[in-house]
Amino acid sequence: MAETDGVRTNITLICAPIMADTVDHMLLHMNSAKSSGADLVEIRFDSLKGFGTHEDIKTLIKSCPLPTLFTYRPKWEGGHYDGDEPSRLAAIRVAMEFGADHIDVELQAVDEFKNLTRGDKPTKCKLIVSSHNYQNTPSLEDLESLVARIQSTGADIVKIATMAVDITDVARIFQVTAHSQVPIISMAMGERGLISRLLSPKFGGYLTFATIGRGNESAPGQPTIQDLLDVFNFRQIVPDTKVFGIIGKPVGHSKSPMLYNKAFRSIGFNAVFVHLLVDNVKSFLETYSSTDYAGFTCTIPHKEAVVQFCDEVDPVAKSIGAVNCVIRRQDDGKLYGCNTDYVGAITAIEDGLRASGVQDGSNGSPLAGKLFVVIGAGGAGKAVAYGAKAKGARIVIANRTYERARELAEIIGGKALSLADLNTYNPEDGMILANTTSIGMQPNIDETPVSKEALKSYALVFDAVYTPKITRLLREAGECGALIVTGLEMFIGQAYGQYERYTGLPAPKELFREIMAKY
Ligand code: NAP
């Protein structure tokens, strides 16, 4: 088990890139990096307006409150410097002489740099030889030969940065990192490459770059130092840390990592939960197939597609046709799919009704006999419709693609509507409405699936969207006098079920509520 109290259990460093127009701003950012918890800073000298002087280099290195990495990136390698090479390499040499702890020299320039310095280098200064590919991530074979080439230059530390076109590209970065003979800094850039940065300690990376705040990135996909430390428990990640994550597209908005990582940490469970921006579920599951990848929460748009890739599916999830939780059995590596969405949503709606004085029906549920309108026919829609039907409600499905509404209504034994019909649908008062589409989700917070006028017929309105907590639909429903139930309640309910399956331990319900109360 990793330690639980924030003490570091790995050697991977956190390096804050410092980009600013002026030396004074750089110094301010260095202090922020230190107070945020960085181990070292990368002085991106090329970000200074105009060309910095050797006096500036001295000031930055001597006044820095943390160990330094000096980088003077030229335009031809993705940086900002567009002057001549001799001046640039001379500046890197000066940084070395003024006491920089690391210097970064591009693979293409390293021979020239060594000619300039005749190989002289203070022992305390480590030479990082770097290569950047902003287009893609090459094959494993090409990456291995690139690492070998960099190593053969006499680099103390190898650095390779590639672009993740697909999340499966990161697996190759992990492979070269784990097998490198020399210390290595490796990452796949972009949102699809995020796990290459978060899981760097698992594979023994020398450092990972993280910013002092959003907007301070020196390359696409860098997390903030605060996220690394507070959300992803970076200091506690070790080689045998199990990886869990949320598979979706988009997925960056998900609060699941905040919830699970805090809960894992509270009991010293050696695992990390990450965002996984997945385009193709099949290739993702095929690529990340070791038992180290122990479980996946599934969200939009993969809940239905993932069913066919599970080795076994729980009967309830099978009848819903959607899986929101995949567990990899640790004894044989097989994937087991289940659905905790419907319990989360239905319990939240039942609790809301009971709290407002609605009595349970003869089947023990306040939903018995109620007319229950579900907007959406995707994974969450099916789960909510299935759950409400099981509690004795009469079901109506309204969906953008009418055909899907009709199919679901037929299976469940209900009625289908188009989204447009919903605005004039008013067969009785006291109905229940559940939005299970992403309409109204950030950033499209002004959107709503149904007119305010039509909301007057509903006694209770539930929205599965939980970013923002109060959507336009819920705000308008409340203004019309309906009881409202937020997606956050469903989120907490479905997360209890998943946590128990992931850890084999009871979910810390109070902690979940406390964490989510912040959002
Ligand atoms: P899904 O399987 O991809 O289904 C998406 C549904 O939304 C489909 O019915 C789709 O209609 C409809 N839709 C999407 N964009 C639309 C638009 N612009 N206009 C009208 N309809 C649109 O996704 P899901 O997994 O069910 O997730 C749906 C939503 O529920 C997401 O916002 C997700 O975050 C939320 N959710 C919340 C929780 C929670 O715990 N609170 C749990 C699960 C899901 P078509 O059939 O016409 O494509």
Instruction: Report how far residue 32's alpha carbon sits from residue 367's, in angstroms, rounded to the nearest whole number.
Output: 53
Instruction: State whether the beta carbon of 245 lies less than 6 angstroms from ligand 1.
Output: no
Residue among 132, 318, 452, 469 flagged as catalytic: 132
Q: CA angle, 481 as apex, 479 and 482 as ends, to 5°?
A: 105
Residue 316 has a pLDDT of 85
How confident is the model at residue 317, as a pLDDT? 92
pLDDT of residue 4: 40
303 carries an active-site annotation: yes
Sign of CA dihedral 59, 62, 67, 68: positive
HSE-up (13 A, CA, CB side) for residue 3: 7
Closest CA to 349 of 406, 397, 388: 388
Q: What is the pLDDT of residue 96?
A: 98
**How far apart are the C-alpha atoms of 472 and 129, rounded to whole Å?**
52
Beta strand extents in 111-248 (DSSP E only): 126-132, 157-163, 184-189, 207-209, 242-248
Q: How far is the CA of 438 from the centre of ligand 1 (A)?
A: 4
The 10s digit of each residue's pLDDT in 293-318 is 999 999 989 999 999 999 999 988 99
Task: Tell whether ligand 1 has an atom less than 6 A from the beta carbon of residue 378.
Answer: yes
Residue 318 annotated as catalytic: no
Torsion sign over Cα 366, 498, 170, 271: positive
Q: Is the pLDDT of residue 252 over 50?
A: yes
What is the per-residue pLDDT for 324? 95
Confidence bin at 65 (pLDDT 50/70/90): very high
Tell whether ligand 1 has an atom less than 6 A from the beta carbon of residue 441: yes
Each residue's pLDDT tens digit, 396-414: 999 999 999 999 999 999 9
Of all residues in the chain, the percent with pLDDT exceeding 70 is: 98
Hey, what are 402's tokens? 């009418």
Task: Pick the atom of ligand 1 nearest to 404's CA.
Answer: 46
Q: Which residues pair with 70 in a beta bridge?
A: 43, 103
Please say if 159 is a catalytic residue. yes
Q: What is the mean pLDDT of residues 55-62?
A: 98
The tens digit of pLDDT for each residue in 348-363 reads: 999 999 999 999 999 9
Q: What is the mean pLDDT of residues 282-290?
A: 98
Site to substitute for ligand 1 among 436, 447, 516, most atoms within 8 A of C-beta = 436
Q: What is the mean pLDDT of residues 374-393?
A: 94
Segment 85-116, tens digit of pLDDT:
999 999 999 999 999 999 999 999 999 999 99
DSSP 258-278: HHHHHHHHHHT--EEEEEEE-
Average of per-residue pLDDT across 247-259: 95
**Mean pLDDT computed over 11-37:** 97
pLDDT tens string 437-481? 999 999 999 999 999 999 999 999 999 999 999 999 999 999 999
Q: What pLDDT band is residue 29 in, cutting at 50, 70 and 90?
A: very high
User: Does pLDDT of 197 surpass 60?
Assistant: yes
Average pLDDT over residues 119-139: 97
DSSP string, 343-371: HHHHHHHHHHHHHTTPPP-TTS-TTTT-E
The stretch 219-245 carries a mean pLDDT of: 97
Question: Once rounded to an integer, what is the mean pLDDT over residues 18-40?
Answer: 98
Mean pLDDT rounded to a whole number for the chain: 95
Stretch 150-171: mean pLDDT, rounded? 98
At 411-432, the pLDDT tens digits run 999 999 999 999 999 999 999 9
Can you give the pLDDT at residue 10? Answer: 82
Looking at residue 2, what is its pLDDT? 37
